[in-house]
Structure 1
Amino acid sequence: MRQISLAISLFFLVSSSALQAEDWPGWRGPRGDGTSIDTGFPIQWTATQNVVWKVAIPGRGHSSPIICGDRVFLTSCLEGEAPGNEPCDRVLISLDRKSGQIHWKTVVEKAPLERIHTLNSYSSSTPATDGERVYVTFLNRDKLLVVCYDFDGKELWRKSPGPFKSQHGFCSPPVLYKGSVIVNGDHDGNGYLVSFDKKTGEVKWKIDRPNHTRSYCPPLIVEAAGKTQLVMTGSKCVCSYNPDDGSLIWTIDGPTEQFVASMVYHKNLLFLTAGFPTYHVMAIRPDGTGNVTKTHVQWHETKGAGYVPSPLAVNGLFFNVKDEGLATCRNAETGKLLWEERLGKHFSASPVFAENRLYFLDDEGKMTVVQADKNLEVLSKNSLNENCFASPAFSKGQIFIRGEKHLWCIGTQIK
């Protein structure tokens, strides 16, 4: 009986660990909100300690790595390998998770370097995977490209949903939903939101977007107010759509012109941060229909609003970091400011929540680890001595950080 009891206990222990272990399959992880339910992540490291591997990455980019099983996928632009104004290769790279060794590198598109913001790159859109295929988005001159590959680097389909024009460049990560790939096409023209069939690339639906203003925000898909909602900021508004057919559920005017950070959802509230030309932090109740600008804003503040880094909402709290380095914690329901602290000089990466801790990565490659609590407690500060502009990926106790020249795997080796 004791042996049977021990076997049952071990079974449930292994099953529980298997259920908790997560890949990081796209922008901001498995839920698109920067949270991980995995355990075993390090709190302290240096450029030489707690490093599983460090691998030089060809080219440059601000896209995040994604993790699926024993694979790591990353996009890059080989801008330094083309003479003069010649077209440059935009590439998708597959690496081995255990060693960091590059399995293959395939050229997605060869295109001239477009005009970009000084803080943007030519490879800023994070890919996405469903465990069988990898989906990438790039800009080629004046058109948006969506391309699908298998895990051997074979191209399966390629689509261009429409034109794309932006003086600050491109960044629209693909988002997966059921059998669809959904892409935001907000730009300085006739913007659109489009859904493709994952396997064939055929367009399932495509809708026009209002206001014709560029944005860089991937949609967030959540179960809210008894229905599935695709919510996103961008093009001078906040909108919720039905991800099955693209029909509009509700909209809020503004609160500003342009958006970069993606939304998060927690305790029946949606949260946004936005910062051009005016700064805003806002909580929205998701149970409305039509124009809910005057009826469904739970709270609205301007202090502590960020532009590029996306926020976190956990434990009944809303956490945010401004581009200039000021981090804030608010009561999620009321918006009351609980603490604020300067964590670095400048931030482009979005923070991650894991094991009741917050991981904030600044542009100098310094990551500050903070307790996810209403009282500020800084647990550690760690530096890789390499600039970092991409948001990190967290999976199975390991942290994957893209630097200017290298991809780092921080933690302990997985057996």
Structure 2
Amino acid sequence: MFCCALALLCAERTCPASSFQHATTLGATPATQGTSPDLDSAGWTRFRGPNGSGVSDRHSLPASLGDEHHAWSVDVPLGHSSPVVFDGRIYLSGVENVEAPEGAHEDLVTLCLELASGKTLWKRAIRRPRKGHFDQRNNAASPTPCCDARGVIVFFPDLGLIAYDASGAETWRQVLGPFRNVYGMGASPVLEADRVVLVCDQQEGSFIAAWSRNDGKELWRTERPFALSGHCTPISITGPKTGARRIVAPGSFYLDVYDITNGTRDWFVAGLACEMKSTPVTDGTSIYINGYASPLNQVGNQVEIDEFRAAIENYDKNENGQIDKSEAPRNRAMSYFDFVDRNADGALDEADWTMLRAALASQNGMLAIRIDSATATKETDERVARDLTETNLRWAYRRPVPQLPSPLLYRGILYLLADQSGLLTMLDPTTGDLVERGRLESGKDNYYASPVAGDGKLWLVGESGLVSVVRAGKELETIHAHDLGEACYATPALVDGRVLIRSTKRLHCYR
């Protein structure tokens, strides 16, 4: 069913049925640790730190968040973005209400703080030019900035990209949007090869693009026609034989790999869920990515619906050649109606219906994908992206996986933190076999932040402010539990022996 639906979406892509049914190891490749690009580089300069890994082993880190380790806490504007750090400077985005004589409005705020003290070095505010749709668990300052020696680049979905130098002077701006995403935009920009790369997946017009770090000029833009509402921040990989850098961007149904120089889609692997939120991780030989769309996409829960022609015969009462929302069958599958109604006209045409069938047939799961050893052997921009599903999909774990928290690969174990209840699953990255599964002590909470690790410890931050420090290893051992008493959605940062945790109200530093 899935293959037929995807074949209608794009004729040139082959979708062998076996590609979407794997639940066992397809080809074991030993997982290494610390071989991905910039895995342990200085600073924490993007979402989830070095290459999105969530790992920093450069310094000793506190085993508890008690008073003896508390360095400072400061008030910050509302926001779900994570702190990023370079050369002793913390950059953070937010949104705040402003009362003015001409009336109240909201400002999109960029802050620069001193890492040592939390002191504000500078603050820049831009009046919010529009108010796009955001889920109540999202807001106008959810994407995490990226930074380097020159300063910081911030993405505000209601504005676009804006770059400031280290002293706070604006250097360039790229107006983007408006966007239409079911939950609002959430992907963060990254810096790669002197380019700012951003994935903008939405209901229609999804794309990945790169802008010059120097002046913000758009260098390339590549459409992502099958990507729906997504929130994945990309990572980079290096070809094992060629040394060529590539951008890895998960999206609906496919993990896509792009040439960083020109945006050409180089290769892809099929089998992802229809809505992707997490950031992949890599050990230099494989890519690991989890995707969870809905309970309907769990193996055994899937619903099959008619092909479009049969649906028209059965449900098109007004004979307009579409399935209007009032005509749609009353079953579980129609919970996806608004998701695939990409132009929001209240009706599904043949393309929408085909997308619905593909979405319903997709499966939740955790995939391990071998990095292509032949990356960058062809240099023509016109080449067709290679389908490496059969050769490079190593294993797929089809038990329930997280929807929002990204995976963590640390010291030979792949960690998956469930969105609810504090369930932590540990997998063997070589085979996908279960190592351990258990619930965090005092960690029963909802989790939007992704886990991070360093110095032999994991930090897991719950929505209500529950923080668990867990010892890395094959057994689940909570070293310390701490309650901030503040709502937390941002992923922590680990840098220079410090743990930075942002709540919706404050930024806390422990060392």
With normalisation by structure 1, the TM-score equals 0.88
Tell me the SS of whatever aligns to 1:295.
Answer: helix
Tell me the SS of whatever aligns to 2:470.
Answer: strand
- Aligned partner of 1:360 among 444, 456, 460: 460
| Aligned counterpart, 1:154 | 169
- Aligned partner of 1:328 among 422, 425, 435: 425
Tell whether the 8 Å contact from 2:250 to 2:256 is kept in structure 1 after alignment. Answer: yes
**Post-superposition shift, 1:205?**
1.2
Tell me the SS of whatever aligns to 1:359.
Answer: strand
1:102 aligns with 2:120: yes
Q: What amino acid sits opposite 1:281 in the alignment?
A: M
- Aligned partner of 2:370 among 282, 285, 295: 285
| More displaced 10-residue stretch of structure 1: 355-364 or 371-380 | 371-380
Give % identity: 29
Deviations 1:96-153 (A, max 9, x none): 222212122111442343221222122101001111121010122xxx6111111222
**Mapping of residues 365-376 of structure 1, within 5 Å:** 365-376=465-476
**Post-superposition shift, 1:80?**
7.2
Computing the radius of gyration from Cα coordinates, the structure with the larger value is 2
Q: What amino acid sits opposite 2:193 in the alignment?
A: K
- The structure that is helix-richer by fraction is 2
- Aligned partner of 1:235 among 235, 252, 263: 252
Q: 1:245 to 1:85 in 2, by over 3 A?
A: farther
CA-atom RMSD in angstroms: 2.1
Tell me the SS of whatever aligns to 2:389.
Answer: coil
Q: 1:317 to 1:84 in 2, by over 3 A?
A: farther
| Aligned counterpart, 2:391 | 295
| Aligned counterpart, 1:188 | 203
| Aligned counterpart, 1:115 | 133
- Aligned partner of 1:252 among 269, 273, 279: 269
| Aligned counterpart, 2:287 | 270
Tell whether the 8 Å contact from 1:21 to 1:396 is kept in structure 2 after alignment. Answer: no
- Aligned partner of 2:142 among 124, 127, 152: 124
Q: Which whole-Å CA distance do the structure 1 matches of 2:491 and 2:189 have between them?
A: 16
Q: What amino acid sits opposite 2:499 in the alignment?
A: I
Deviations 1:200-252 (A, max 9, x none): 11111111112141211111012243332211211332111111211112112
- Flag structure 1 segments of 5+ consecutive residues without an equivalent: 1-19
| Aligned counterpart, 1:75 | 93
> Higher relative CO (CA 8 A, sep ≥ 6), structure 1 or 2?
2
Q: Which whole-Å CA distance do the structure 2 matches of 1:292 and 1:328 have between them?
A: 28
Q: Which whole-Å CA distance do the structure 1 matches of 2:101 and 2:509 have between them?
A: 32
Tell me the SS of whatever aligns to 1:31.
Answer: helix
Q: Which whole-Å CA distance do the structure 1 matches of 2:100 and 2:406 have between them?
A: 33
| Aligned counterpart, 1:33 | 53
Tell whether the 8 Å contact from 1:86 to 1:112 is kept in structure 2 after alignment. Answer: no
Tell me the SS of whatever aligns to 1:367.
Answer: strand
1:341 aligns with 2:438: yes
Q: Which whole-Å CA distance do the structure 2 matches of 1:376 and 1:212 have between them?
A: 36
Deviations 1:349-397 (A, max 9, x none): 1111101222111112222122221232222222222221100011111
Tell whether the 8 Å contact from 1:259 to 1:276 is kept in structure 2 after alignment. Answer: yes
Q: 1:44 to 1:92 in 2, by over 3 A?
A: same
1:44 aligns with 2:144: no
- Aligned partner of 1:167 among 168, 176, 182: 182
Q: Which whole-Å CA distance do the structure 2 matches of 1:185 and 1:221 have between them?
A: 17
Q: What amino acid sits opposite 1:51 in the alignment?
A: H
Q: How many residues align?
A: 387
Tell whether the 8 Å contact from 1:213 to 1:236 is kept in structure 2 after alignment. Answer: no
Q: Which whole-Å CA distance do the structure 2 matches of 1:261 and 1:41 have between them?
A: 25
Q: What amino acid sits opposite 1:70 in the alignment?
A: G
With normalisation by structure 2, the TM-score equals 0.72
Q: Which whole-Å CA distance do the structure 1 matches of 2:204 and 2:370 have between them?
A: 30
Q: 1:161 to 1:123 in 2, by over 3 A?
A: closer
- Flag structure 2 segments of 5+ consecutive residues without an equivalent: 1-39, 298-363, 375-384
Q: What amino acid sits opposite 1:165 in the alignment?
A: R
Q: Which whole-Å CA distance do the structure 1 matches of 2:269 and 2:233 have between them?
A: 17
Q: What amino acid sits opposite 2:122 in the alignment?
A: W
**Post-superposition shift, 1:304?**
4.2
Q: What amino acid sits opposite 2:73 in the alignment?
A: K
1:318 aligns with 2:414: yes
| Aligned counterpart, 1:202 | 217
Deviations 1:288-326 (A, max 9, x none): 771122332111112241111111112222111011121
| Aligned counterpart, 1:9 | none
**Post-superposition shift, 1:84?**
13
| More displaced 10-residue stretch of structure 1: 244-253 or 182-191 | 244-253
**Post-superposition shift, 1:156?**
0.8
